[in-house]
Chains A and B, each alone.
Chain A
């Protein structure tokens, strides 16, 4: 198998090669470590390459496989983790912030530990927007590692906030990555980078050892080349963890999508209002594909201030989570100028407003479930536009400079969603399609996304910038 086919092979394919001992975990780790070292700086994708740990894990996987001990489809598979997940040993955990660039936390987050138990090989801690974007940044240059650069167009952004997780998978630097989403931070980089990203149901994956931005909104999830791969990774990291009391004991077992399954999709009325023309056209094209898989109907949600609900919760919880950094003035050490002063505004959120948002969240969750109950998924454009230029302002629903009803409802109600590539815009950048489902229905949204990917080839296209001949 050529290097190019290897680095852009889905996890399921790599797993078969490893299990059949056609590819050694050590060789696989070396391949991706070399790409991380050579190409990672081009995209500001990497904070720390964990070469020593990766090779130790790869050698162990090789020994275990030789002994006939197979841990499962992630055994011997390299990956990268957003640098808000704690890691043991001498590996820093920076949260993307210059003020934490040398900090060692000395333990593994539960997600990291579960991936180790599954036999996966940690090759890198990946770049991210500082403090996961929770301070109100307006621009791509909001991390001490520099702005996340998009492999499809180096003048464009890869974020945010799991910017390195998005660009590293798109550039073939790792087969999969772990990201986090409070509001948009998995679906956005997945969409901007033309890969697949899964935001699990809130509580599906333990947050223990992950930076807290908002305790009731934060979720961890995979970014990979395919929906099927995201399911494989989710199965490894899902499950109750006593260290995270919000994690839930609901089994998740990933099954590849059954061929010929029919789906029922909903589209919120007016969901493409405000989208760029190319995004709208690609979404219409996607709907044509979805109609070959089942039915598509227009649905409505009641008129509620969805963005305001989720934004108020996010602002209040982030203000408390980073109280020490804000009140001490340590935020002056952040990269984006606006991150150094905008957090002060959140002292103006009243407790009553926060509680009202929490009460309305319950209404929102019930209404979303009512609409979703007869459907397999709500579908919508993943993003309203192509990725912004590196020197452009980032429009954000978190700050109120863009509307994002799907994101507000999905994150506010803790619902799973998967974003898949569905075309390109005029600047050569990917656009995306999202599938959002009822709570705990990751299997359904992944099946729908996988069925879409079985009928399209957007996920099989890779940036010219990183194909082996040109990279």
Chain B
């Protein structure tokens, strides 16, 4: 089993554990294919190296109700 397939199977196992009892075999197979797409996307993201200072492009602001 390739490194990619191993990761796909590991992640897919979580989905199957949570929802497998409500999915037909062909639906499970479609979900597995979707998980593979997610893993490939994650690998593409991980292939780009960022330095420690590269922050998420999303602001968080501390909250305080008035006053």
Residue in chain A with minimal CB distance to B18: A347
- Whether B57 pairs with A359 at a CB distance below 8 angstroms is yes
Q: Which chain B positions have C-beta within 8 A of A399?
A: 34, 37
Cβ contact of A216, chosen from B22, B48, B55, B58, cutoff 8 A: B58
CB < 8 Å neighbour of B30 from A338, A347, A355, A363: A338
Report whether over half of chain A's contact residues are helix, strand or loop; otherwise say mixed: helix
Distance, CA A399 to CA B36, complexed state (A): 12
Structural contact, A308 and B44, CB atoms closer than 8 A: yes
Are B11 and A361 closer than 8 Å at their CB atoms?
no
Range of interface residues on A (Cβ < 8 Å): 35 or more
Does B4 have its Cβ within 8 Å of any Cβ on chain A? no
Tell me, in angstroms, the Cα distance from A350 to B14 when the chains sit together: 11
| Nearest-Cβ distance from residue B46 to partner chain A, whole angstroms | 7
> B42 on the interface (CB 8 Å rule)?
yes
Q: What chain B residues lie within 8 Å of A347 (beta carbons)? A: 14-15, 18-19
B8 CB to closest chain A CB, in angstroms? 9
Q: Is the CB of B11 within 8 A of A348?
A: yes
Give the segment of A282-290, A309-317, A428-436 that binds chain B: A309-317
Taking a contact as CB atoms closer than 8 A, the residue among A309, A346, A348, A362 that contacts B45 in the complex is A309
Task: Report whether A360 and B15 are in contact in the complex, using a CB–CB cutoff of 8 Å.
Answer: no
Whether B2 is near chain A, meaning CB under 8 Å from some CB there, is no
CB contacts (< 8 Å) of B44 on chain A: these are 305, 308
Q: Which of B23, B30, B46, B50 has the most CB of A within 10 A?
A: B30
Assuming the A-B contacts A305-B44, A311-B41, are A348 and B54 also in contact, with contact meaning beta carbons closer than 8 angstroms in the complex?
Answer: no
CB distance from B61 to the nearest CB of A (A): 8
Q: How far does the alpha carbon of A348 sit from the alpha carbon of B36 in the complex, in Å? A: 10
Whether the pair A344, B56 counts as a contact (CB closer than 8 A) is no
Q: Per-residue 0/1 for A334-362: is the Cβ within 8 Å of any B Cβ (1 yes, 0 no)? A: 00001011101111111001011111111
Q: B54 touches which one: A307, A329, A363 (CB < 8 A)? A: A363
A341 to B23, CA, bound (A): 7
Contacts of B56 in A (CB 8 A): 355, 358-359, 361-362
Q: Are A358 and B15 in contact (CB under 8 A)?
A: no
- Chain A residues closer than 8 Å to B23, beta-carbon distance: 341, 344
Q: How far is the CB of B53 from chain A (nearest CB, A)?
A: 10
Number of chain B residues whose Cβ lies closer than 8 Å to a Cβ of chain A: 31
Residues of A within 8 A of B45 (CB): 305, 308-309, 312, 353, 356-357, 360
The residue in A216, A312, A359, A363 that gathers the most chain B C-beta atoms within 10 A of its C-beta is: A359
A366 CA / B27 CA spacing, docked (Å): 40
Could you tell me if B54 and A359 are in contact, using CB atoms closer than 8 angstroms? yes
Q: Is A136 an interface residue (CB 8 A)?
A: yes
- Decide: B57 and A348 in contact? CB cutoff 8 A: no
A309's closest neighbor in chain B, by CB? B45
Of the candidates B12, B30, B39, B40, which one forms a contact with A342 in the assembled complex, judged by CB atoms under 8 Å apart? Answer: B30
**Contact partner, B31, options A304, A341, A353, A359, Cβ 8 Å:** A341
Interface string of A363-390 (1 = CB under 8 A from B): 1110000000000000000000000000
Distance between Cα atoms of A347 and B16 in the complex (Å): 10
Q: Which B-chain residue is minimally distant from A326 (CB atoms)?
A: B19
Please measure, in the bound complex, the distance between the C-alpha atom of A315 and the C-alpha atom of B40, giving whole angstroms.
14
Residues of the B chain whose Cβ atoms lie less than 8 Å from the Cβ of A294? none
Known pairs A344-B19, A362-B55. 20 more at Cβ < 8 A?
A304-B48, A308-B40, A308-B45, A312-B42, A329-B22, A341-B30, A345-B34, A347-B18, A348-B12, A348-B38, A349-B38, A353-B38, A356-B42, A356-B46, A360-B50, A361-B58, A362-B57, A363-B48, A363-B57, A400-B41
In order of increasing CB-CB distance, the 3 nearest A-B pairs are A362-B57, A358-B56, A345-B34
Q: List 30 A-B contacts (CB under 8 A).
A: A136-B34, A304-B48, A305-B45, A308-B41, A309-B45, A312-B38, A312-B45, A342-B30, A342-B34, A344-B18, A344-B19, A344-B31, A345-B31, A345-B34, A345-B38, A348-B35, A353-B41, A353-B42, A353-B45, A357-B45, A358-B56, A358-B57, A359-B57, A360-B45, A361-B56, A362-B56, A363-B48, A363-B50, A400-B40, A400-B41
Task: Give chain A's interface residues, CB within 8 Å of chain B.
Answer: 136, 216, 245, 304-305, 307-309, 311-312, 315, 329, 338, 340-342, 344-350, 353, 355-365, 399-400
